Each structure stands twice: as structure tokens, then as C-alpha cells.
Amino acid sequence: MDAAHQENQAARRPGKSAGSTDQPMRITVLGATGSIGKSTLDLIRRNPDRFSIVAVVAHSKAVELADLARAVDADCAVCADEASGLALSSALSGSGIATGAGETAVLEAVDRPVDMVVGGIVGSAGLKPTLAALKPGRILALANKECLVSAGDLFMRTAEDMGVRILPVDSEHNAIFQVFEADNASEVEKVILTASGGPFRTLSLAEMEQVTPAQALKHPNWEMGRRITIDSATLMNKGFEVIEAFHLFPIRRDQLGVLVHPQSIVHGLVQYTDGSLLAQLGAPDMRTPIARCLAWPERMSAPVERLDLGKIANLTFETPDLGRFPALKLAMDALDHGSVATAALNAADEIAVEAFLTGRIAFLDIARLVGETVDAVLQQHGGVRFAGVDDVLAVDAHARALAVEWTERRAS
Ligand SMILES: NC(=O)C1=CN([C@@H]2O[C@H](COP(=O)(O)OP(=O)(O)OC[C@H]3O[C@@H](n4cnc5c(N)ncnc54)[C@H](OP(=O)(O)O)[C@@H]3O)[C@@H](O)[C@H]2O)C=CC1
Ligand SMILES: CC(=O)[C@@H](O)[C@H](O)COP(=O)(O)O
Ligand SMILES: [Mn+2]
């Protein structure tokens, strides 16, 4: 390559991104000890000039959080669990890293000035801190999909009021984000989320009656936390993702579709009125969508496997079977019923997944429990409109109580 060509190439290279300004981009990571949190911190550690970590937040894994905080030289580390505060402060004593524990400490950590917050807490426990992260001038890289399932309208309204840009971390939504042409939104016909189908994709309902937590925790393609892994096995995760997509993109409910794609290589697709179907492909490694968010609107290098499509050879697609995977239908129906139903859906599912993992209910009971709980909550709170987070948490608490009763009846 001659010098003039090199100069030309360099001139075409984008100079700065949200993360490559003169000052490093300041980031807070919620759910730092989880699968999303650790993938995020891995990318950040590889780019110390580009990013600096302000706060890392977890629930109770104090020692692990302390190690991560040291590794990225965070300003502060916080456990949401009050009782883990002592373990955290001793693990970080002498490090110069500030520590805290409990809900107020989490909200104070979220309040520290940053450019981006990565929302990687699991479940509706993430709702308050992630809502609190919505402050003017920030970007929210959102993985915690339960925020949108529990409180999508409220969450998106707050983000809009605050002028916060939400970048989707969830692989399907990140894929769609990458191929969704905002300028041609009115020409979008369909948005398609792919689903691996989970470990029980080919099992009959009778066979699924017998499956164990250990089998359900073996996702065919992704390494993830326990809750989302079980949700993938029931396809509730895909139902949540339909709700998530409805809130994230300017589309109607009837434009959303799900396609089972066992290889998890094609993550999401957008179909346009001219017949074009645009897709994003990548190895099943969350560092690709996370990197897309961290570097947005540019790109950055990510240490993920490169696809060799010649070797992969076959990409296959199937229509989801709602008879064998009723959780997907429950979620789509909940979206049609509105906010109360989706909040109850998430809360009931959190209880159901935990009950399954601890051997108190069977795998197929998850959808039974969730369906009956959503119906019962709708009967009582059907017409409620969420004005604030406390309204959401009231429905969430009611659904949890009913779901616990369901589990107890099952066990007796
Ligand atoms: N893993 C993945 O590949 C993907 C995940 N997502 C979504 O991202 C979110 C995180 O998933 P994942 O990383 O797999 O989950 P993990 O179970 O691996 O991690 C959950 C994280 O949340 C923290 N946490 C739990 N409860 C609280 C709380 N009350 N306050 C503060 N922190 C809390 C945990 O802390 P501690 O370790 O101390 O308990 C941990 O850091 C979920 O919403 C999931 O649906 C979306 C797409 C892909
Ligand atoms: C990695 C990710 O985004 C998960 O949400 C993943 O999609 C789960 O796999 P399923 O497609 O099996 O739900
Ligand atoms: Mn996903």
C-alpha cells in the first residue's frame, strides 16, 4: 500500500465515537457480576483509554464484585444487598474504591455523573435503579428486558422525557437496531426475532413433563444467567422479547414475528416494502451486541469468533409451535392486554422459574402458573394505568403473592 493510499484510508476512518472522545467515556455497570456485566467489563478492560468505569453494582456477590472493581479501577462498588456491605468494604479496603450497600447506596451510585449506564440487572429488581439511570445526556445500554416487560410504557416515556437514548443490548433487538433504517421506518413491513428453540425444541409435551432443571439449564448456544436460560427453554424469553421489541421500535404489534432458528447465527431481521429482508448475523457471543452499544455510533473491535459461513453451511428456520411452547403465546396475549398483564407476566414468571429450579413445580407448570396468575391479576387490576413505578411494583407484588400461593397449592 503506498503512502497516499494509507493517508486516504486513515482520513476515511471515523475519528471519534461516544467512547473515543479525548476523555474516556464514563460508564456505570448495573449487574456487574452477571453474564452481561462480565462481558461488558471484559470489553472495557481491553480498551482502558477509551472507557473508564465509575460504578459497578451487583446484588450480593461481594468478593466477585470487589475483584471486578479492582480490575477495572472503578470509582465505586455497591451491593444492593445490605448484608453484603461488610464483605464488600473489607474486600476493597485500602483500594481507594468507595463502597456501599443497600437500595439508597445503589441509587447514589447511579446518580454519579456518567455518559452511559449498562443495565444488566436481572428481573424487575432492576426497574428502580435502571429508571433512576435515565438522566439527561446519558445513553442507556439496556439488557434488563424485564424493565420493558414490567413497565414498558412508563420506562419509554421517562427515557423520552429525559432525552435518554436507549441502545438495545439484547442480541435480537441489537440485531434489529443494526438493520432498522430509522429514515425508512414507514417502509418497514415486519420485524422478526429469532429464537434458538432452547434445549427442548424437538421434545413432545409428554417428554417435557419430565425434564429437570439441569437439562433446562443447558442452553444449546448461549452462556447466560439462570433465569433467562430457563426462559429460553420455555420460550417465555422470546415472548418477553416480543414485548421488548414493541416498546423499542416504532412498529405495531401485528408487525412482530418470531422464527425458530436453532443455530442462533441470524439474530434478527427487518423486512421492507420493497421485499428486502435485512438481517444481522454473528457468533452467539454477547460481546458483539455489547460492543455495538459501547462504541455506538461507531464500531469497535470485539474478541469474538468470526463466522465461517462455508463451514456452518446450513442455517435453518422453523415456525414456533405455540402448542408445545404456551409461554410464548401467554406473553403475546399479555402484550395485547396491556401493561398490567405484562407486569404480572414477568412477576409470575420470576416466581415460577425459581420454583422450578428448586424442584417445587414441574417444567410445564411454569406456563400454567403464569397463565393463571396473569388472568387473576387482570381480573383485579385490569383497568389500572401505571402513573409511576409504585403502581407497577404493586401489581408486581400482587402477582408474586398469587404465584407463591399457586406453588404452595402444587406442593401440597
Ligand atoms: N446473559 C445474556 O446473554 C443475556 C441477558 N439478557 C438480560 O440481561 C439481564 C441480565 O442477565 P444475566 O447477565 O444473564 O443475569 P445473571 O444472573 O448472570 O446476572 C444478574 C446480575 O444482576 C445482579 N442483581 C440481581 N439482583 C439484583 C438487585 N436486586 N440489585 C442489583 N443487582 C442485582 C446480580 O448480582 P449478584 O451476582 O450479586 O447476584 C448479577 O450481577 C437479564 O434481564 C437478561 O434477561 C439479555 C440478553 C442476553
Ligand atoms: C443472547 C440473547 O439475546 C438471549 O436472549 C437469547 O436470545 C436466548 O436464546 P433463545 O433464542 O433461546 O431465547
Ligand atoms: Mn435475546
Q: pLDDT > 70: what percent of the chain?
A: 95
Q: What's the chain's average pLDDT? A: 95
pLDDT category, 322, cuts 50, 70, 90?
Answer: very high
Radius of gyration for the alpha carbons in the chain, expressed in angstroms and rounded: 21
At residue 382, the pLDDT reads 84
Give the confidence band of 222 by pLDDT, cuts at 50, 70, 90.
very high
Expressed in angstroms and rounded, the spacing between residue 288 Cα and the centre of ligand 2 is 14
Distance 171 CA to ligand 3 centre (A): 5
For ligand 2, atom 5, the nearest C-alpha belongs to: 170
Residue 174: the pLDDT is 99
Q: What is the pLDDT of residue 111?
A: 98
With cut-offs at 50, 70 and 90, classify the pLDDT of residue 7.
very low
Task: Report the separation in Å between the CA atom of 115 and the middle of ligand 2, taken as the mean of its atom positions.
Answer: 27
Q: What is the pLDDT of residue 8?
A: 40
Taking domain 338-411, whether its CATH number is 3.40.50.720 is answered by no
* pLDDT, tens digit, 9 for 90 and up, residues 119-146: 999 999 999 999 999 999 999 999 999 9
- Angle subtended at Cα 115 by Cα 289 and Cα 118, rounded to the nearest 5 degrees: 40
List all residues whose CB is within 6 A of at least one atom of ligand 1: 31-37, 57-61, 80, 120-122, 125, 143-146, 170-171, 222, 224-225, 228, 286
Residue 346 pLDDT exceeds 60: yes
- Is residue 241 predicted with pLDDT exceeding 60? yes
Domain with CATH 3.40.50.720 in the chain: 18-169
Nearest CA to ligand 2 atom 13: 232
- Residue owning grid cell 413432545: 204
Three-state helix/strand/coil letters over the chain: CCHHHHHHHHHHCCCCCCCCCCCCEEEEEECCCCHHHHHHHHHHHCCCCCEEEEEEEECCCHHHHHHHHHHCCCCEEEECCHHHHHHHHHHCCCCCCEEEECHHHHHHHHHCCCCEEEECCCCHHHHHHHHHCCCCCCEEEECCCHHHHHHHHHHHHHHHHHCCEEEECCHHHHHHHHHCCHHHHHHEEEEEEEECCCCCCCCCHHHHCCCCHHHHCCCCCCCCCHHHHHHHHHCHHHHHHHHHHHHHCCCCHHHEEEEECCCCCEEEEEEECCCCEEEEECCCCCHHHHHHHHHCCCCCCCCCCCCCHHHHCCCCCECCCCCCCHHHHHHHHHHHHCHHHHHHHHHHHHHHHHHHHCCCCCCCHHHHHHHHHHHHHHHHHCCCCCCCHHHHHHHHHHHHHHHHHHHHHHHC
How many angstroms does the Cα of residue 140 sit away from the middle of ligand 2? Answer: 20
ipTM confidence score: 0.99
Q: Cis omega (within 30 of 0) on the bond before 297?
A: yes
Distance from C-alpha of 149 to C-alpha of 346, rounded to nearest angstrom: 7
16: pLDDT strictly greater than 80: no
**HSE (side-chain half, CA atoms, 13 Å) at 265:** 14
Give the pLDDT confidence score for residue 114 in this predicted structure. 98
- What is the predicted pLDDT for the residue at 167? 98
Average pLDDT of the segment spanning 78-98: 98
Backbone angles phi, psi at 296, to 5 degrees: -50, 135
Is residue 15 over pLDDT 90?
no
pLDDT given at position 9: 41
Question: Residue 69: CB partners within 8 Å, gap ≥ 6?
Answer: 32, 53, 56, 76, 77, 92, 95, 97
Q: How sure is the predictor about 292, in pLDDT bands with cuts at 50, 70 and 90? A: very high
Give the model's pLDDT for residue 384. Answer: 87
- Please indicate if the annotation marks 34 as binding a ligand: yes
| Per-residue pLDDT, 22 | 74
Is 33 among the annotated ligand-binding positions?
yes
Question: How does strand 277-281 pair with strand 266-272?
Answer: antiparallel
> Residue 411: pLDDT above 90?
no
Task: Give the number of the ligand closest to the Cα of residue 263.
Answer: 2
Superfamily of domain 18-169: NAD(P)-binding Rossmann-like Domain (3.40.50.720)
Q: List pLDDT tens digits, range 106-116.
A: 999 999 999 99
In the prediction, which pLDDT does 178 show?
98
Report residues near ion ligand 3: CB below 5 Å.
170-172
| Greatest Cα-to-Cα distance within the chain, rounded to the nearest angstrom | 79
Q: 149 falls in which pLDDT band (50, 70, 90)?
A: very high
In the chain, CATH 1.10.1740.10 sits at 338-411
Q: How far apart are CA 330 and CA 336, in angstroms?
A: 10
The predicted structure's pLDDT at residue 55: 99
